[in-house]
Structure 1
Amino acid sequence: MKKKVRMNVVLSMLLLSSSLGMLLGNAVYAEGLSPDMEVGFSGREDEGDGIKDPENPDVTVAGEPNTASKERLRIDFAPKLSFSSGEVTDSDSDYTVKAQLFKDKLIPARGNFIQVSDYRTNPTGWLLQLRQEKQFTHTEKAGIALDGAVLSFDKSWTNSKKSPEYAPHVSKEIIRLTNVGETYNIAEADLGNGGGTWSIIFGASDQNKNENDPTLVPMIDDNGKPVMDSSLGKQIYTNSAIKLSIPGATKKEPGTYTTVLTWIISELP
Structure 2
Amino acid sequence: MYSKLKWVLVVPLVLASFGMYSGETLAAAYKSKADMILEGKVEIVPPVNPVDPTKPVKPVKPGKPGTPGPLSIDYASSIQFGKHKIADKDVTFYANLEQVIQLEDGKQLEVPNYVQVTDDRGNNGGWQLNVKQASQLKNGNHVLEGAQLTLLNTKLASPSHGNEPIVNKNIELNPVSGESSQVMFAKADQGTGTWVSMFGGDVNEGKSSIKLTVPGETKKYEGNYSTTLIWELLDSPI
Output aligned runs, 1:92-241, within 5 Å.
92-104=90-102, 105-139=106-140, 142=141, 144-163=142-161, 166-172=163-169, 174-180=170-176, 181-205=178-202, 214-216=204-206, 239-241=207-209
**Partner of residue 16, structure 2:** none
Q: 1:235 is matched with which residue?
A: none
Unmatched 5+ stretches in structure 1: 1-41, 207-213, 217-238
Structure 1 segments of 4 or more deviating over 4 A? 62-66
C-alpha distance in 1 between matches for 2:208 and 2:159 = 26
Distance 1:134 1:114 in 2: 20
Aligned to 2:26: none
Other-structure match for 2:223:
255
Which structure 2 residue ranges, 5 or more long, are not aligned?
1-36
Residue 204 of structure 1: CA displacement? Answer: 3.3
In 2: Cα distance, 1:88 partner to 1:161 partner: 43
2:236 pairs with 1:268:
yes
Letter in 1 for 2:86: V
2:155 aligned counterpart, secondary structure? strand
1:60 correspondence with 2:28: no
SS in 2 for 1:215: helix
**Amino acid corresponding to residue 59 of structure 1 in structure 2:** K
User: Superposition RMSD on alpha carbons, in Å?
Assistant: 2.2
TM-score by length of 1: 0.66
**Alpha-carbon deviations, 1:41-76, whole Å to 9, x = none?**
x96141773211111111111577781232111101
Higher mean displacement: 149-158 or 50-59? 50-59
| Structure with more strand by fraction | 1
- Residue type of the partner of 1:264? E
Using structure 2 for the length normalisation, give the TM-score. Answer: 0.74
Which amino acid in the other structure matches residue 90 of structure 1?
D
User: 1:56 aligns to what SS in structure 2?
Assistant: coil
Q: 1:179 deviation in Å? A: 4.6
For 1:154, the aligned partner's letter is: L
Larger Rg: 2
Which protein, 1 or 2, shows the higher relative CO under an 8 Å CA cutoff with sep ≥ 6?
1
Query: Do the aligned partners of 1:84 and 1:95 also contact (CA within 8 Å) in 2?
Result: no
Measured in 2, the distance between the counterparts of 1:134 and 1:161 equals 34
Q: Which of 59, 69, 73 is residue 67 of structure 2 equivalent to?
A: 69
Check whether the contact 1:84–1:96 (CA below 8 A) recurs between aligned residues. Answer: no
Given that residues 46 and 66 in structure 2 are in contact (C-alpha distance below 8 angstroms), is that contact kept between their aligned partners in structure 1? Answer: no
Is contact 1:48–1:196 with CA below 8 Å preserved after alignment? no
Contact persistence 1:135–1:145 (CA under 8 A): yes
Residue 39 (structure 2) aligned to one of 38, 41, 44: 44
